Amino acid sequence: MYTKKNQFEYKRLIEGVSMRPLVYEQKTILCEFILEKDAKLPLHQHPYEQTGYLISGKLRFEIGGKWYNSIPGDSWCIPENVLHRVEVLEEAHLVEIFSPIRPDYLPQNPVSPH
């Protein structure tokens, strides 16, 4: 699949967290996230490996019981079924890849690139 800029719309996942898929295929999906300052993603786990890159902002992650302070340029890879959570210290912009694909992150109404 090939997509153009802004092909898919953002959707609100939880309070303070918006996501849009950028591109996907059979095994991976690349998503863009905007996290509002003071948002909190609660402790959770899922059957997807999650790899990310922080473009801007500041985050505080707990991954597998260990805390990390993230600044722009930092990356992470969270294995499947590992407990993790995030505190948003400063509005953040990031991209993440999930494998296998998260069906709940697929676009509802894909827009034609033409």
- Res 110: pLDDT: 53
Number of Cβ within a 10 Å radius of residue 4: 11
- Res 113: pLDDT: 46
What pTM was computed for the model? 0.90
Strands, E, within 36-82: which ranges?
40-44, 49-63, 66-70, 75-78
Strand partners, 23: 30
Calpha distance 94→20 (Å, rounded): 11
- Res 34: pLDDT: 98
- Res 1: pLDDT: 87
Exposure string for 54-81, b = 16+ CB within 10 A, e = fewer: beebbbebebeeeeeebeeeeebebeee
Per-10-residue mean pLDDT for the chain, 114 residues long? 90 96 96 98 97 98 97 98 98 98 84 46
3-class secondary-structure state, position 93: strand
Are the CB atoms for 48 and 67 separated by under 8 Å? no
Domains of the chain: 13-95 (2.60.120.10)
Tokens standing for residue 94: 């990031």
- Res 114: pLDDT: 40
